[in-house]
């Protein structure tokens, strides 16, 4: 039955597009210095079926998300690399892990395409930029579709050749933490949005207070759930809470947990600081501002203000320096945790890049 589903999906995929994608694959295979992911590559889309590429079988197929676990198992796939972790695909990835499939995800979306900037400025930031610089002949006839249309078919093929340093294996515990963080962030944004709206609405102070109180209760509930999930799935996290001196505030603990999760996928402290918007050079040599994670930057900012008791009305200039100090403490804690696990002979798959290919 699953095999029939795969065949039907392939029939729906335009055969000319499929042949062009396979032609790109054969060209890329000729570049010896490119790494190769050993397994299936899956490009997800929120509103379309997933695109699956299995190099060993030269198989390209569109598969509905709900059918993906069965389809991959039927194809004998034991390892999968996906382009991103989204709320819309996290349940599918959890099913794959439960079925025994290793699931890897890109830690940086720009590892595939890079991002728009001045031509030939600086080191290539993604696979496509690297190919443009060093092997332009490979992209001949494909450049427009790959770079501007960003067709799912080509992206699924290109995923195979992204450097393993941008791969992160995810586990059931990682997914559980990630989902709890997403729900906490949603409650946080909703609360902030409500405060902004209430400041402009013609309501009585009593009515505003009632709505704020209700929103704060929901925010605290999500913070509690998030912190409890982290304590259950991340042993010794209480040591981090003690080390940075967080008082018994669920909101502050949630911010700390959020920043700790953001260490996953970062390859160095410098990489982590850049992710938080705390790089030593905000503009770089080219004058182009680096891309950082706005949610993570907000979390470290709020946590630093609380931990170091910064008065924003008088001491705003202290914030960035304290954010760096706090982020460094959290990074060093994470590093020590990994060292302890390694000494005990264990492994933390979510922090180790793929060594194959």
- Same domain for 188 and 112: no
Of 140, 170, 200, the position where a domain reaches its end is 170
Flag whether 11 is in a domain: yes
| 13, part of any domain | yes
- List of the chain residues with pLDDT < 50: 1-8, 10-11, 117-118, 282-288, 347-357
Distance CA 287, CA 103 (A): 37
Task: Specify whether 81 is located in the same domain as 146.
Answer: yes
- Token look-up 């079926």 returns 49
Q: Return the pLDDT at 125.
A: 72
Residues 82 and 216 both lie in one domain = no
Q: Are 55 and 25 in contact (CB under 8 A)?
A: yes
Residues 6 or more apart from 225 whose CB is under 8 A from it? 180, 183, 184
Q: Are residues 225 and 242 in the same domain?
A: no
The pTM assigned to this predicted structure is: 0.82
Residue 258 and residue 229 in one domain: no
Indicate if 239 and 253 belong to the same structural domain. Answer: yes
- Looking at the chain, the number of H-run helices and the number of E-run strands are 15, 6
How many domains is the chain built from? 3
Q: Which pair of tokens denotes residue 75? A: 């194809």
Tokens of residue 53, six digits: 């590429």
Of the residues 170, 191, 212, the one at which a domain ends? 170
Same domain as 25, residue 130 = yes
User: Are 19 and 116 contained in the same domain?
Assistant: yes
Residue 357 counted as domain residue: no
Q: What is the DSSP letter of 38?
A: S
In a domain, 126, yes or no: yes
Alpha carbon distances (Å) from 44 to 52, 82, 324 = 9, 7, 34
Instruction: Note whether residue 75 is domain-resident.
Output: yes
Same domain, 129 and 23: yes
pLDDT for 312 equals 87
pLDDT at 340: 67
- Please check whether residues 92 and 159 belong to one and the same domain: yes
Residue 28 CA to residue 348 CA, distance in Å, equals 32
**353 found inside a domain:** no
Strand order in the sheet with 50-54: 59-63, 50-54, 40-43, 79-82, 102-106, 167-170
Cα-Cα-Cα-Cα dihedral sign, residues 298, 299, 305, 308: negative
30 in any annotated domain? yes
> Which of 179, 206, 233 is the C-terminal boundary of a domain?
233
253 and 151 in one domain?
A: no
The pLDDT of residue 356 is 34
- Which residues span the domain enclosing 344? 234-348
In a domain, 354, yes or no: no
Do residues 60 and 109 share a domain? yes
Structural contact between residues 157 and 25, judged by C-beta atoms closer than 8 angstroms:
yes
Residue spans of alpha helices (H) in 125-268: 127-134, 143-144, 152-159, 172-200, 205-233, 237-244, 250-262
């Amino acid at each position: 039955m699953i095999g029939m589903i795969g065949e039907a999906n392939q029939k729906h995929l335009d055969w000319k597009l499929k042949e062009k994608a396979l032609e790109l694959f054969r060209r890329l295979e000729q570049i010896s210095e490119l790494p190769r992911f050993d397994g299936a590559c899956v490009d997800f889309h929120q509103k379309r079926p997933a695109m699956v590429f299995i190099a060993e079988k030269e198989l390209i197929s569109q598969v509905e998300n709900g059918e993906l676990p069965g389809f991959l198992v039927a194809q004998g796939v034991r390892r999968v690399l996906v382009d991103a972790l989204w709320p819309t695909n996290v349940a599918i990835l959890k099913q794959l892990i439960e079925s025994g499939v290793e699931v890897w995800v890109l830690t940086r979306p720009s590892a595939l395409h890079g991002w728009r900037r001045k031509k030939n400025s600086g080191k290539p930031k993604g696979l496509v930029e690297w190919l443009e610089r060093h092997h332009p002949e490979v992209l001949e006839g494909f450049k427009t579709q790959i770079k501007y249309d960003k067709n799912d078919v080509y992206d699924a093929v290109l995923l195979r050749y992204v450097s393993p340093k941008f791969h992160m294996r995810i586990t059931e515990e990682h997914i559980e933490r990630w989902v709890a963080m997403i729900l906490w962030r949603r409650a946080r944004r909703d609360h902030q949005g409500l405060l902004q709206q209430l400041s402009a609405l013609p309501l009585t102070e009593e009515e505003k207070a009632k709505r704020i109180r209700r929103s704060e209760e929901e925010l605290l509930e999500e913070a509690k759930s998030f912190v409890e999930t982290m304590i259950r799935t991340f042993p010794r996290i209480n040591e981090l809470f003690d080390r940075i001196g967080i008082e018994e505030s669920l909101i502050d603990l949630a911010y700390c947990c959020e920043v700790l999760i953001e260490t996953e996928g970062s390859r160095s402290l410098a990489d982590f600081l850049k992710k938080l918007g705390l790089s030593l050079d905000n503009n770089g040599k080219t004058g182009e501002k680096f891309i950082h994670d706005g949610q993570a930057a907000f979390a470290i900012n709020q946590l630093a203000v609380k931990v170091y008791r910064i008065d924003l009305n008088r001491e705003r200039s202290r914030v960035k320096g304290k954010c760096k100090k706090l982020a460094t403490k959290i990074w060093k804690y994470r590093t020590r945790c990994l060292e302890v696990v390694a000494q005990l002979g264990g492994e933390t798959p979510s922090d180790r890049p793929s060594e194959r290919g």
